[in-house]
Amino acid sequence: MLGSAEATPIKAKRFQTLGSAFFLIPVLSGQRRNLQEMDQVLGYGFEYGKAKEYARSLEGFSAKLAVVYMVTVFGIKYYMRNRKPLDLQGPLNVWNGILAVFSALGFLFTFPTLLHVIFTKGLSHTYTHISAVYTNSTSGYWVFLWVLSKIPELVDTIFIVLRKRPLMFMHWYHHALTGYYALVCYHEDNAHMVWVVWMNYLVHAFMYSYYLLKSLKIRVPPQVAQLITTSQMVQFTIAIAAQLHVGYLAYSGVPGLAVTFRGWAIGLFMLVSYYALWIQFYKESYLNNGGKKYKRAETEGAARKAQ
């Protein structure tokens, strides 16, 4: 049952430490932080205004980190070219498990408040105005954690290059861009981002659970991967629709909208480019010439039967 959007579920407090423990990288970024900013990361007395200021202070760091990330990833890839891939199964299992649980919690602690706002103020209010989804002490905190989570998620790519797995453009491109998008849209009050946040939490809960099963060597039908990829494209479609609508309203002169041109432009560019890349990936993986993932599954199945 949905409670008031201002209420803070007692159970949510039990997960504050779990959520905040995921963010040692931005906290230890080398920049000076006062105790109030640290309190926002740790979830003690969350205040949306203070969280925005913390996000604003990280914008420049995020842009520099994106460059360092790309140099590091391709540097490691070059270093590993004549070396054997590292196994890393244990750390990878832990990493995928943490992200799966974190994403599931993020969805559970943001979606009820989103529904409350939709039922009380209307669907468009969620992406045109800063609502309780951003300001509520529980939902708002987990939206804030989503913004910060884009920094430690860069570790995903480190696992790929150390294990010498194929490094796709869509992978490192979306990791490099999403963090900057999240920080800008958050501290500039771009309400449309919430439709990226809650859907991304949901999709990632399933995606990292799938990765965990794969890293545990548990056979998963390729249809599951196809369903996850489809859900990602649906996510982009819905988020683009929300952005186009709020952009139209702003162009029409509707006052009081929570949107900035910079946040809107970065978001639209990001989502459209992601959608194009995911469509291409979908075609190659599941459609063209029988689909790479389906062919791989057939090959693995034949190998198991031959044993």
Q: In the prediction, which pLDDT does 11 show?
A: 47
The 8 Å CB, 24+ separation contacts for 113-120 are 113/5, 113/138, 113/139, 114/139, 114/194, 114/198, 115/2, 116/2, 116/3, 116/4, 116/5, 117/5, 119/2, 120/5
Q: In the prediction, which pLDDT does 152 show?
A: 95
Q: Which two tokens stand for residue 91?
A: 């750390």
Q: In the prediction, which pLDDT does 175 show?
A: 97
Question: In which domain, by residue range, is 214 found?
Answer: 10-297
Query: Does residue 1 have a pLDDT over 50?
Result: no
The 8 Å CB, 24+ separation contacts for 63-67 are 63/180, 65/151, 65/154, 65/179, 66/176, 66/177, 66/179, 66/180
Q: In the prediction, which pLDDT does 292 show?
A: 74
Residue 216 lies in a domain: yes
| CA–CA gap between residue 195 and residue 126 (Å, rounded) | 8
Mean pLDDT confidence for 143-160: 96
Instruction: Provide the percentage of residues in the chain whose pLDDT is more than 70.
Output: 81
Name the most confidently modeled range: 7-16, 20-29, 218-227: 218-227
Please give the biggest Cα pair distance in the chain: 68
Residue 277 lies in a domain: yes
Residue 125 lies in a domain: yes
Residue 305 lies in a domain: no
Query: Does residue 28 have a pLDDT over 90?
Result: no
Query: Does residue 13 have a pLDDT over 70?
Result: no
Which residue's structure tokens are 């906290």?
Answer: 27
Residue 93 lies in a domain: yes
Q: In the prediction, which pLDDT does 16 show?
A: 52
Q: In the prediction, which pLDDT does 22 show?
A: 53
- Other beta carbons within 10 angstroms of residue 53's beta carbon come to 15
Mean pLDDT confidence for 137-155: 96
Q: Which amino acid is at 127?
A: Y
CA 232 to chain centre: 11
Question: What pLDDT band is residue 45 in, cutting at 50, 70 and 90?
Answer: confident
Nearest to 286 by CA among 244, 225, 197: 225
Query: Does residue 105 have a pLDDT over 50?
Result: yes
- Other beta carbons within 10 angstroms of residue 2's beta carbon come to 11
Mean pLDDT confidence for 222-226: 92
Mean pLDDT confidence for 87-112: 96
Query: Does residue 17 have a pLDDT over 70?
Result: no
Q: In the prediction, which pLDDT does 212 show?
A: 96
Nearest to 36 by CA among 22, 21, 46: 46
How much is the mean pLDDT over the chain? 87
Query: Does residue 10 have a pLDDT over 50?
Result: no
Residue 304 lies in a domain: no
CB 133 within 8 A of CB 140: yes
Question: What pLDDT band is residue 179 in, cutting at 50, 70 and 90?
Answer: very high
Query: Does residue 301 have a pLDDT over 90?
Result: no
Mean pLDDT confidence for 241-253: 97
Q: Which two tokens stand for residue 242?
A: 């929300």
CB 96 within 8 A of CB 212: yes
* Whole-number Cα distances in Å, 30 to 22, 178, 181: 17, 21, 21
Query: Does residue 73 have a pLDDT over 80?
Result: yes
Q: In the prediction, which pLDDT does 299 show?
A: 61
What are the residue ranges of helices labelled H in 122-260? 125-128, 132-135, 139-149, 155-162, 169-187, 194-215, 222-251
Which residue's structure tokens are 């040692």?
Answer: 24
Environment class of 248 (CB within 10 Å of its CB; exposed 0-12, middle 13-18, buried 19+): exposed
| CA–CA gap between residue 255 and residue 253 (Å, rounded) | 6
Q: In the prediction, which pLDDT does 37 show?
A: 60
Our count of domains for the chain comes to 1
CB 22 within 8 A of CB 102: yes
Query: Does residue 304 have a pLDDT over 80?
Result: no
Residue 130 lies in a domain: yes
Greater model confidence, 11 or 193? 193
Instruction: Provide the percentage of residues in the chain whose pLDDT is more than 90.
Output: 77
Nearest to 240 by CA among 286, 271, 265, 274: 271
Greater model confidence, 291 or 130? 130
- pLDDT, tens digit (0-9, with 9 covering 90-100), for 260-275: 999 999 999 999 999 9
Q: In the prediction, which pLDDT does 25 show?
A: 47
